[in-house]
Amino acid sequence: MAELHDLTALEQGDLVRRGEVSPLELTDHYLERADRLDTVGAFVTLTPDRARDRASALTEEAFLSGPGESSLFGVPTAIKDLNLTAGVRTTFGSAAFADFVPDVSDGVTLSIEAAGMVSLGKTNTPEFGSPCYTEPDVAPPAVTPWDRTRTAGGSSGGAAAAVAAGLVPVAQGSDGGGSIRIPASCCGLVGLKPSRGRISGYPMYGDPVGLATAGPIARTVRDAAALLDVLAGRRAGDPSWAPPPAETFLASCDRDPGSLRIARFIEPVIADVAVDPDCVQAWEDASRLLESLGHEVVDVPVPLPPEAVPVFEVCWAVLTALSVVPPEREHLLRPLTRWLSAAGREVNGPEFGLAIGAMRRHAADALTALAPYDAVLTPTLATPPVPIGAMRDDDDPAADFLAQKEFTPWTSAWNVTGMPAISLPLHWTAGGLPVGVMLAARPAEDDLLLALAAQVEAAAPWADRRPPGW
């Protein structure tokens, strides 16, 4: 008989709706696993008392008036340590904020609560979510449960490690340059970066460039779609928003995507790096799978020119510099953060404005070039997950930053364009390491992307794979 954690998030939600399991039972089950099995660096802070109080209230609510409308009502989850959660320690992955407790929650946290989900605590993230590895000073490194000597990726490394190790069934992450899709690939999961404006940045609106968004990390496409239904939607003060879909994102997974034209390229976008043979094989196998499903796969040139890379780096450095740290605590920042912040502070206002304008023109050219295609296929990463510490270089932050670019040479392209993009766990190495492939779609066509991803999953399912220690 299957254990609760063997079930998908949607299956668990269905049990709650039928009254066969309570939110409190699910919460206790996962709290016990998180306490006993978190050898993967998933959590920075666990909040068991708060979670049980919340689950008890939801259990009573379900008994008195029935579960709420969300398909994930009563299902446990966790919130990334970059997201404000009122009354809960939120460190932003930094020793400079090791004891910070916000008095407000952000839109992501509020949406999760409004759907009747139960947060077990805060998941691990690197300092301010900047690196693509999760090795902060406030928690142990986040590692992939497929090999605990190797990175879970970043910056949503804790969220991915938690889902992959069965410590929560589904989790929220955020993605400014690949930070959902990178850990999804490292941990053998589905990771979706939605379209720009799909999910509100309330109340901080801390990214004036438009690179970052929240999104789901899950074991299945349908679970990811269900969590996107929870997170999606605009709030009154949002500067931009994606148009709402005609149906739920979960319903999109049951729709035939039709016969699509799918562009593909494998040349790295932001770094001159050799692509690991397993990542090439995953991309080639995915191409053949898509063709077998009736889609036309077409080779295309890289849609972003090399000139876009330094423009992105200027914006990234300025965004890092916008992290407000009290002067008396700046010495607690990591060398990489100090290096990026220093570079960002050297950029004056007109230069930053020109960089934003240039990036938007590069994005427009890429979107125009890709407009004839319904989706785009690339690898997610240039290599399988690397050992802990392989990219981090406190003595040479510039080398650290270059190593990250070489690990993730495609993901940030879709942050620049604002397109939705998803990493799917379609390949494993001979040594048992997961390797993702990435599909992107036109802006606001998250529903089509999910329909295609669900079709791929049905043809080559992966959910029955379990890492050691499951």
Q: Token pair for residue 347?
A: 């950029």
β-pair partners for 376: 263, 440
Q: What are phi and psi of 243, to 5 degrees?
A: -60, 145
* pTM score: 0.98
pLDDT, position 320: 95
* pLDDT value at residue 2: 85
Q: What integer pLDDT is reported at residue 186 of this predicted model?
A: 99
Report pLDDT digits (tens) over 406-438.
Answer: 999 999 999 999 999 999 999 999 999 999 999
pLDDT at residue 260 is higher than 70: yes
Domains of the chain: 4-459 (3.90.1300.10)
Give the E-state strand segments of 326-400 in sequence order: 375-379
Segment (H or E) for 339: helix 335-345
421's tokens? 């993009």
Q: Which residues contact 230 (CB under 8 A, 6 or more apart)?
A: 70, 72, 111, 112, 115, 117
| Identity at 295, one-letter amino acid code | H
Secondary structure (3-state) at 448 = helix
Active site residues: 80, 155, 179
Q: What tens digit of pLDDT does each residue of 28-46 get? A: 999 999 999 999 999 999 9
Query: Comparing C-alpha atoms, which of 167, 170, 162 is closest to residue 144?
Result: 162
pLDDT digits (tens, 9 = 90+) for 142-155: 999 999 999 999 99
Residue that has been written with the tokens 């969590």 in this structure: 227
Q: Which two tokens stand for residue 114?
A: 């409004």
Q: Pull the structure tokens for residue 319.
A: 């965004």
- The model's pLDDT over 86-116, given as tens digits with 9 standing for 90+, comes to 999 999 999 999 999 999 999 999 999 999 9
Cα separation, 208 vs 39, whole angstroms: 36
Task: Locate 84 and state its tokens.
Answer: 């404000």
> Over 90: is that where the pLDDT of 67 sits?
no
Q: How many CB atoms lie within 10 A of CB 345?
A: 13
Q: Residue 66's pLDDT is what?
A: 83
- Is residue 250 within 8 Å of 71, Cβ to Cβ? yes
Q: Which pLDDT band, with edges at 50, 70 and 90, does 323 fall under?
A: confident
The CA angle 423-427-433, to the nearest 5 degrees, is 100
Task: Name the strand (E) or helix (H) holding 147.
Answer: strand 147-151
Above 80 in pLDDT, residue 453?
yes
Neighbours of 322 (CB within 10 A): 14
Assess whether pLDDT exceeds 70 at residue 1. no
